Amino acid sequence: MPEGIIYKALSGFYYIKNGDQDIQCRARGIFRKRRVSPLVGDRVTYEAEKPTDGYILSIQTRKNALKRPPIANIDQAILVFSVMEPSFDCQLLDRFLVTMEAHAIHSLICFTKKDLLSANDLSKFKAQINRYERIGYPVFFISSVTNEGISEVKKQMAQRISVVTGQSGVGKSTLLNHLNSSLNIETQSISQALGRGKHTTRHTELIPIAENGYIADTPGFSSLEIPEIASVDLENYFPEFSAYRDGCRFRGCTHLAEPNCRVKEAVSAGEIDQTRYAHYGVFFQELKERERKKYQ
């Protein structure tokens, strides 16, 4: 049976790309019985005698999936924030990073509006966010005015399915327009083309980008809830903890109140960033409160 990738889902139809072919399919009734819905990004087998009359037969095992937007098999998230206008929200970035870590999605951090800072202010800003590069997250600075950094980000999208998200008002749509110049549409129209209007996703669609890559946009967020994870698992989504947590005195150490905690010692020694650690504490308490309400 032929195989392809779902690149758009709309009104019960799934649009599959197989090489140069585009096939419109419906899902077999068996998926409803199993309470499984095909998602954009799914790799599927299908049968189709006509381009407009096909059926999805099976869905290959997913490596991950997001609820918002409903998309599967994401290779990386491009987290877009600005150096100013709006001001950089580091706690929001850490929320996004935890969310992506929890879904096993590689994150790339992209800062827009580089042209708004003087050379001296940009140097200070880079020193401030160096914490992320030390952890291992790739960081890019771009300007849609001068086109600086655009090609470097685009190279990261080749052969990958990427999702773009981040802080509201930072220029995600403008970035997308620069990354895919063939769209040749006004910035405000991009959100419609990618299924977005006033922060409401109408449909999810993968847009071709770079060499054999796809990209999907998501609505802007002013806040983001930590995903459904257990509080005891939160430490797994702060990669900088991994080198220290096995040295804690107590098994199951939360790295907050316990004595002889190697993570806390690393924070005191400047080996783990204090701001990131403070955010870990905030998120941990949020998860504990969620668990408390759940079992009341």
166 annotated as ligand-binding: yes
**106 appears as a binding residue in the annotation:** no
Residue 16 forms beta bridges with which residues?
Answer: 6, 23
Q: How many residues does the chain have?
A: 296
Torsion of CA 218, 224, 228, 233, to 10 degrees: 120
Q: Find out whether 174 is annotated in a ligand binding site.
A: yes
171 marked among binding-site residues: yes
Q: Say whether 114 counts as a known binding-site residue.
A: yes
Dist. CA 146–CA 186, nearest whole Å: 18
Task: Indicate the SS3 state at residue 56.
Answer: strand
Answer yes or no: is 112 a known binding residue. yes
| Residue 202 to residues 68, 108, 245, Cα–Cα distance (Å) | 11, 26, 43
Residue 115 marked in a binding site:
yes
Q: Is 253 labeled as ligand-binding?
A: yes
**In sequence order, what are the residues at sequence separation of 6 or more whose Cβ sits closer than 8 angstroms to the Cβ of residue 174?**
112, 144, 187
Would you say 110 is a known binding-site residue? no
Instruction: Note whether 6 and 59 are within 8 A (CB).
Output: no
**Do residues 10 and 3 lie in contact, with contact meaning Cβ atoms separated by under 8 Å?**
no
- Residue 33 is labelled as binding a ligand: no
Q: CA–CA separation, 7 vs 82, rounded Å?
A: 29
Q: Is 172 labelled a binding residue? A: yes
Q: Which H/E stretch holds residue 218?
A: none
Q: Contact 109/137 with Cβ under 8 angstroms?
A: yes
Q: Which DSSP symbol is given to 115?
A: G
Relative orientation angle of helices 90-102 and 274-294, to the nearest 10 degrees: 60
Calculated CA dihedral for residues 173, 175, 177, 182, nearest 10 degrees = -140
Residue 255 annotated as lining a ligand binding site: yes
The answer to whether the annotation marks 248 as part of a ligand binding site is yes
Which residues participate in the annotated binding site for Zn(2+)? 248, 253, 255, 261
Which residues participate in the annotated binding site? 112-115, 166-174, 248, 253, 255, 261
Which residues participate in the annotated binding site for GTP? 112-115, 166-174
